[in-house]
Structure 1
Amino acid sequence: MRSWLYIPDIRNVGSIGTSEADALVVDLGGAADPAAVGGWIVDAAREAVWVRLDATERGRQALRVVVSPALTGVCVAAESASEIAALSAVIAEAEEAARLPVGRIAVVPRLATAAAVLQAAEIARAPRVARLQLAEGPLARQLLVEPGDDERELLWARSMVVMAGAAARLAPPIAAACPPGTDCEPSGVVLRRLGFRGRTCLDENQVRTANKVFATP
C-alpha cells in the first residue's frame, strides 16, 4: 500500500481503471450521495477501496449504505480508542446486513489533532485498526506550527505515530500528502526513513512518485 489516492468527489472523477494507485480513498462526507458512492465502489472493481468519513451520526448512517464485499475499509478521524470501538459496532451491524463476515472491514484512524496523537498508542490497539494515518495539515494548524523546508517541526508527531503503530504490530502508517504541484519525492524519502511506507496522494503524478519512493527494496 504505497499510494492512497484520495478522491474528494466521485462526480468529478472519470475512469480510474488506469490509475496506478495501490488504494483508492473515497470521501463519503459533504454532499456525496452514499448510494452513489456505494455503486461507484462496486463498479471500480479494485482490490483496495476505502471510504473516508467523520464519526458523526450522518457518517455512520452513510457507512451502512456503502458496506459491501467491494469495500476494504474505513478511514476516520478519531481522538480515542472508544470512538473506534463505537464505530466498529456500527460496522459489524452493516456487515451482518450485507452478509459479510463480522470483522472483514478494516479501519484506519486519521490522527488530525494533538489529542489524537497523544492517544496514538491506545487508538492503535482499538478494534479493526489496520494502520494509522497522520493528518498533518489540521494538526499543524491546531498547533500553530509553521513547517520549514525540512519539516522538522513535525518530526515528533511523525515518530510518535510510527512508534504507536509498531508497538501495536500494525502495518506501517500512512503519511500525509504533499502540496499539489510540488516535488513530492524529497519529503517522501524523509518519511520513508522515519518509518512510513505509503502516503496519501492527490493526483496520478503523486501516485507514481509514492510508488517509487515507497517501493519495497
Structure 2
Amino acid sequence: MILTWLYVPGDRPDVVVKALRAGADAVIVDLEDAVSASRKEYARAATVELLGSPHQVPVHVRVNALDSPWGGADLTALGRLGGLAGLRLPKISAPEQIACVAERTGGAVALYALLESALGVERAYDIARAHPALRGLSLGEADLRADLGVTAEAGLDWPRSRVVVAARAAGLAPPAQSVFPDIRDLEALAASCARGRSLGFLGRAAIHPRQLPVIERAYLPGPAEVTAAEEIVAAARRTPGALALPDGRFVDPAMLAGAERVVALARRSVPVPS
C-alpha cells in the first residue's frame, strides 16, 4: 500500500538514485515542471536508462503535457518500457486524452491523471472511467489555484472532495494529496495531511525526503483507532451480518470495510521479520 510518493527531477540522475533509497514507497521521476525546456531531451534519455536497470521501489514518470512539444516523444520513449510502474499525465481535462495515451501505450502501463484546471475537476468522473488502464486521479493544486484564483486553503476543499468522490465512484484507489510546497514547515505539513485524511485522501506526494516520515505518520492509524478497528473485525468474524458491540456501537458491512482498511494500514507499519 503506497502512502508516500517522492518527486525527483528527471535531469538529475544522481538525485534520482538518492531518491530511490530515501524511504518513499514510490518515486516519481518528473520530466515536466522540474525540468527546463533546454534539458527535456536529456531528462527523457536519462530516465529511459534508469528504467533499464532494476530498482527496489516502484518508479513512476510524470511526462510532459500531451499538447506540449515534448509530450508525444515522452510517450514514445517510455510508454512500453519494462521497469515503469506508472505514467503520470499532467493537465488532463478530458477522458479522450486518457484513451489516446492508453492506445499509444497499448494499455501496458498504469496511467494516473493529474487534474489541474476547473474543466478537469468538472469532468473528474468521466476521466476516472475513461479506460481500464487508468488507475488513479490526483490534483495538481498549484496550477488549479491559479486557474481558480483561489487564495485561501478552504477554496480547494470542494475540488479535493470532488476528486475523492470521482475516484471512489469509478472504483479507483483513494487519491493521494498534492505536494506541500514548504519543505521546512513540517508542522504545517502534518496539519495539512490530517485535513487531507479527513477528506478521504490516502497518502501524499512529497518534494523532499524530510517530508516522508511526516506524511506516513499522518496517514497511519493511531493505537486507539487500530484497537477499535480490530474489535470490529473480530466481532464480525464471530457473528456474520449486522451486530452491536458491547459498548453500543452498531456494526454494518460499511463499518466493517472501514475497519478492515484501518487494520491493513496498521499492518503496513509493522516491520517484516528478517
**TM-score, with structure 2 as normaliser:** 0.70
- In structure 2, the residue matched to 1:79 is 93
Alpha-carbon distance in structure 1 between the residues aligned to 2:74 and 2:100: 15
Structure 1 position 192 matched with structure 2 position 197: yes
Cα-to-partner distance string for 1:76-112 (whole Å, 9 max, x where unaligned): 12101001101111111xxxxxxxxxx3311110000
Normalized per residue, which structure has more helix? 2
**TM-score, with structure 1 as normaliser:** 0.88
- In structure 2, the residue matched to 1:98 is none
Cα-to-partner distance string for 1:1-24 (whole Å, 9 max, x where unaligned): 111101123426153342111111
Alpha-carbon distance in structure 1 between the residues aligned to 2:19 and 2:57: 13
How has the CA–CA distance of structure 1 residues 154 and 192 changed in structure 2, closer, same or farther, with 3 Å as cutoff?
same
Alpha-carbon distance in structure 2 between the residues aligned to 1:71 and 1:140: 30
Structure 1 position 68 matched with structure 2 position 70: no
Alignment partner for residue 90 of structure 1, among 104, 112, 118? 104
Give secondary structure in 1 for the equivalent of 2:173. coil
Q: List structure 1 segments (4+ residues) > 4 angstroms apart after TM superposition.
A: none
- In structure 2, the residue matched to 1:160 is 162
**133-142 or 63-72: which moved more?**
63-72
Q: 1:7-156 counterparts in 2 under 5 A?
A: 7-11=8-12, 13=15, 14-29=17-32, 30=37, 31-32=39-40, 33=42, 34-43=44-53, 45-53=55-63, 54-56=65-67, 58-66=70-78, 67-77=80-90, 78-92=92-106, 103-127=107-131, 128-147=133-152, 151-156=153-158
- In structure 1, the residue matched to 2:261 is none
Give secondary structure in 2 for the equivalent of 1:7. strand
How has the CA–CA distance of structure 1 residues 15 and 189 changed in structure 2, closer, same or farther, with 3 Å as cutoff?
same
Q: Is there any run of 5+ residues in structure 1 with no aligned partner, and where?
A: 93-102
How has the CA–CA distance of structure 1 residues 44 and 28 changed in structure 2, closer, same or farther, with 3 Å as cutoff?
farther
How far residue 143 of structure 1 moved from its aligned partner, in angstroms, is 0.9
Give secondary structure in 2 for the equivalent of 1:171. coil
User: Are 1:112 and 1:139, in contact at CA under 8 Å, matched by a contact in 2?
Assistant: yes
Give secondary structure in 2 for the equivalent of 1:131. strand
How far residue 208 of structure 1 moved from its aligned partner, in angstroms, is 1.5
Alpha-carbon distance in structure 2 between the residues aligned to 1:62 and 1:165: 26
Q: What is the percentage of aligned positions where both structures have the same residue? A: 30
Alpha-carbon distance in structure 2 between the residues aligned to 1:116 and 1:28: 21
Q: 1:164-183 counterparts in 2 under 5 A?
A: 164-179=166-181, 180-183=183-186
- For 1:176, the aligned partner's letter is S
Structure 1 position 3 matched with structure 2 position 8: no
Q: Is there any run of 5+ residues in structure 2 with no aligned partner, and where?
A: 221-264, 267-274
**40-49 or 112-121: which moved more?**
40-49
Q: How many residue pairs align between the two structures?
A: 204
User: Are 2:31 and 2:62, in contact at CA under 8 Å, matched by a contact in 1?
Assistant: yes
User: Are 1:4 and 1:25, in contact at CA under 8 Å, matched by a contact in 2?
Assistant: yes
> What is the RMSD computed on CA atoms of the aligned residues?
1.6
Which gives a bigger RCO, structure 1 or 2 (Cα 8 Å, sep 6+)? 1
How far residue 129 of structure 1 moved from its aligned partner, in angstroms, is 1.1
- In structure 2, the residue matched to 1:96 is none
